[in-house]
Structure 1
Amino acid sequence: MTIAAFDTVAIVDWSASNGPSPARPSADAIWIGTATAAGTEARYFRTRAEAEAQLSALIDAERTADRRLLIGFDFPMGYPKGFAARLTGQADPRALWRWLAERVTDMGNRNNRFAVADEINASFAAKAGAGSAGGPFWGRPSGLPLSHLPERKAVDYPALGLPERRAVERCVPRAQPVWKLFTTGSVGSQALMGLPMIHRLSQCAGTAVWPFDPPDTCPIVLSEVYPSLLAPLVAQQPGIKDAAQVTLLARALWRLSDRRALDPLFAAKDIDDLHEEGWILGAGHETALLAAAEGP
């Protein structure tokens, strides 16, 4: 497979913040780094709605201009094997995105992600009956009373019949499990707040979501990324870490694309559950990413 070069690469550092981020550009908020032949830039967004509107506009503009666009999101696109089928009846991440899009609310960045996780855990417990292991999610603010969502990790995943980690998270141990919803590294909350957007963006004409779709058949490709693959280089940058990492990863992927060197990153993985769990674009190719990101 030879993948046509992408004219634009955008990397999204997402946030599950329950409220708008500060007016002044800050860490732990939404940043979008973009790379083109003209260079790179990072933009700051206070709310998820603003960021999604920008991404939708970018997709429309690039498609209208007959340009290829790759957008990477720093949250999982799928869950460990078995979860989607048990929740939706279909072993298909798209069914899960749709399920979440129908239930997650997000008004002015005020959202119900913990309540949705509590509902999911409750549904697992109800289906399993008395003595069940509950549900897979954990982590919430101590003052939020949700009887099916434990404040701290108290889940026996083997008893629940679900893996704690996806295959890619076992290959990238620094990546946090998707079930964790609160405190440092809680990518689970980002996924709950991001996957409804993936459902909506994936409906745009000419849009593929890798690895669930081939990356060479549509002009717009969405994928999961993990900016921490560039951690050694990001640590050397001044300013806000979030801005640096989205810019560096966008630059790295654009340069690899321009050199027609992206194919190894998109190559099919010998993993049975790839099309249910997803994969981090660039996992296992850190050396190539770091080399491409270096320099002006």
Structure 2
Amino acid sequence: MFDRVIVVDWSGRGTRSPARPSPDAIWTGLCEAGHREESYFRSRAEAEDWLSARLAEGGRQLVGFDFPLGYPAGFARRIAGRDDAYALHVWLAGQIQDGPDNRNNRFEVAAAINARLGGNGPFWGRPKAKPIPHLSPFKTADYLGLGLAEKRRVERENPPAKSLWQLMGAGSVGSQALLGIPVVHRLAKATGARVWPFEPPGPLTLAEVYPALLAPSVAEAGDPIPDRAQVRLLSRALFALALKDRLAPLFDSPDEAAEEGWILGAGHAGLLQEALAWP
């Protein structure tokens, strides 16, 4: 049972988003008894401050972020020394630099990881006009040779979810993960929130979500800013399930999730869709 649900549509932008609310920026949808709201943020720093303030208000809160919180099996050990998503979160939080204007070093961190693993992947995608050693603008990695899967199990089972090694391009989530995981780590550390599925759910729970599970309803909404519709509808659906104490099935996950992470609601799109129709 949660008293409040927040869904976050993240962004990997390298500059501040437009002053006028726009697509492909950061949106949050908040749903609680008697109150719903969508908020727009021009920078990740502003969004992090807002989320920190909401979590500090207490109560039982579920916050879902639309980017992966883990990587394919074996990556954490190669980078952080053990098969532990938390260790990888700590490592990334120490490497990523992300300013109040959204300028960041995500490409450089990805390139350094590639170099450490042999120079040809796993990460790919960068502006063609910005040459960076060990980071190709195109997918050239030999994942079999690297000993890493191109996708996590949850992405393989939930198309069209993309590989988080891709840093640029339509539907890509790689940049959002690199820039978002440190935020999740800081929020959890500051508030004591649990990061599911690496920890069991608690009064404050941070999790990975995938708004595309409600793609038909988002399209039907006809909102000129799909991001806004996504956070509004998914926060509504999750809160409706919380009110009826029917969230438990969404927290089921396979063994791989302990290292790779998992999407809250994967395999339950029908239930989420049904919840939107409840009063």
Paired letter, 2:204: I
Contact 1:33–1:43 (CA under 8 A) maintained in structure 2: yes
Give the 5 Å matches for 1:63-74: 63=58, 67-74=59-66
Give the 5 Å matches for 1:34-183: 34-61=30-57, 63=58, 67-107=59-99, 108-125=101-118, 134-183=120-169
2:266 alignment counterpart = 283
Shift of 1:181: 0.3
Aligned partner of 2:209 among 216, 225, 231:
225
Paired letter, 2:267: G
Q: TM-score, normalised by structure 1?
A: 0.91
User: Cα deviations across residues 119-138 of structure 1 (Å, max 9, x unaligned)?
Assistant: 1001111xxxxxxx733000
Shift of 1:295: 6.4
CA distance in 1, matches of 2:72, 2:19: 37
Q: Give the % identical residues.
A: 54
Shift of 1:106: 1.0
CA distance in 1, matches of 2:268, 2:89: 28
2:28 alignment counterpart = 32
User: Cα deviations across residues 47-76 of structure 1 (Å, max 9, x unaligned)?
Assistant: 000000000000101x2xxx1000000000
1:206 alignment counterpart = 192
1:256 alignment counterpart = 241
User: Cα deviations across residues 167-213 of structure 1 (Å, max 9, x unaligned)?
Assistant: 10011011110100011112000000100101101103431111111
- Corresponding pairs, count: 277
Aligned partner of 1:10 among 6, 12, 21:
6
CA distance in 2, matches of 1:171, 1:284: 9
Q: Which runs of 4+ in 1 moved over 4 A?
A: none
Paired letter, 1:275: A
Paired letter, 2:18: P
Paired letter, 1:221: T
CA distance in 2, matches of 1:54, 1:97: 21
CA distance 1:293–1:39, shift in 2 (3 Å): farther
Q: TM-score, normalised by structure 2?
A: 0.97
**Aligned-residue CA RMSD in angstroms?**
1.2
Paired letter, 2:62: L
Paired letter, 2:123: F
User: Cα deviations across residues 50-104 of structure 1 (Å, max 9, x unaligned)?
Assistant: 000000000101x2xxx10000000000000000100111111111111111111
CA distance in 2, matches of 1:115, 1:266: 35
CA distance in 2, matches of 1:18, 1:244: 24
Q: Helix, strand or coil for the counterpart of 2:207?
A: strand
CA distance in 1, matches of 2:23, 2:191: 33
